[in-house]
Structure 1
Amino acid sequence: MGKIWLTRRGLLSLLPAAAILGPARAETPLGVPSLYAADPLTGLALRGYDAVSYRLGSEPVSGADGHDHVWSGLVWRFSSAANRGAFARAPEVYAPRLGGCDPEGVAAGRLVDADPLVASLYDGRLYLFRDAQRRARATPELLDAAEARWPDLRPAAAIGG
């Protein structure tokens, strides 16, 4: 049998996975499935979508290699250096609220995965939802209830939002 060598490129490709397997991705007593809609294979927050782009257009834009920023234990990818810089200056402004968990679930006391393509801005805050039906049911009262419940549910890894 031959030896298996790990090249520098191969080692670097494992870094995003290390980000989701490290402290920010550790299971909690509540069984947090994924914070900030992190992709379980790449470790990219918002599954690689640009967090700033949610505020710039009607649809989120995919991030590009070379425009990464690490925050809250995850790799966030951006479509441009300008967007990466804006996020780096104020990540709590651009990151989804409630750790990227679905507000209906949080209001009910559960941490429920959300889809980064099912998002809405409410009162200047970005919320992700599990599906379009949950987004359609979202009311200011539901979001207020989720925000009030979030401090008790929030895992230590979810610094922002």
Structure 2
Amino acid sequence: MGKIRLTRRGVLSLLPLAAVGPARGETPLGVPGLYAADPLTALALRGFDPVSYRLGSTPQAGVEAHEFAWSGLVWRFASAANRGAFARAPEAYAPRLGGLDPEGVAAGRLVEADPLVAALRDDRLYLFRDAERRARADTTLIDAAEARWPILRPDAAIGG
């Protein structure tokens, strides 16, 4: 009888079937892209430190030694101090709109964003799909996205 072999891709395709709750790499309710999560690792912001966006001009990569689980994802930090700040107030440091692109949210769509294309507006972190969308993001667009988000967000159907 022949042997059955699974490739790495084959094994990975079976993982969601074995999971109870969100599979690693999926965000709450299985919506891809929330908090710019890496689909294979479940790392929020693809491993960038959310606190570092407020400390310098470019975000810093987080390290495995400073991880924190929040909102169904793993968040990494460049330092223990940054991890502690986030743990005390995650909503203050996590990107607004679930880390999705504000232009897409304003238009009623869940559009994934790039964690390296970010901006602070009114002391809130927003991520954008690309630099052109970030350049177009004025107060009117951000306000429209914020107004639409409570209806559009994936957990709105369950009262979250």
- Shorter-chain TM-score bucket reads 0.7 to 0.9
Match of 1:115 in 2: 114
Summarize deviations over 1:88-139 as a string: whole Å, max 9, x none: 0000000000000000000000000000000000000000000000000000
Output aligned runs, 1:81-160, within 5 Å: 81-156=80-155
User: For the Cα contact (< 8 Å) 1:48–1:63, is it kept in 2?
Assistant: yes
Residue 18 of structure 1 deviates from its aligned partner by 3.9
Say yes or no: does 1:59 pair with 2:58.
yes
CA distance in 1, matches of 2:63, 2:32: 25
Instruction: Specify which structure has the bigger relative contact order, considering alpha-carbon pairs within 8 angstroms and separated by 6 or more residues.
Output: 1
Say yes or no: does 1:20 pair with 2:25.
yes
User: For the Cα contact (< 8 Å) 2:29–2:155, is it kept in 1?
Assistant: no
TM-score, normalising length: structure 2? 0.81
Residue 25 of structure 1 deviates from its aligned partner by 5.1
Q: Which runs of 5+ in 1 are unaligned?
A: 2-16, 27-31
CA distance in 2, matches of 1:114, 1:64: 21
Q: Which runs of 5+ in 2 are unaligned?
A: 4-21
The amino acid that maps onto 1:24 is P
Residue 19 of structure 1 deviates from its aligned partner by 3.6
User: For the Cα contact (< 8 Å) 2:32–2:39, is it kept in 1?
Assistant: no
Secondary structure (helix, strand or coil) at the match of 2:87 reads: helix
How many residues of Structure 1 are paired with residues of Structure 2 in the alignment? 136
Secondary structure (helix, strand or coil) at the match of 2:63 reads: coil
The percentage of counterpart residues that share the same residue type is: 74
Where has structure 1 moved over 3 Å in runs of 4 or more?
none
Larger of the two Rg values belongs to structure: 2
Residue 36 of structure 1 deviates from its aligned partner by 0.1
Match of 2:16 in 1: none
RMSD across aligned positions (CA)? 1.6
The amino acid that maps onto 2:90 is P
User: For the Cα contact (< 8 Å) 1:19–1:73, is it kept in 2?
Assistant: no
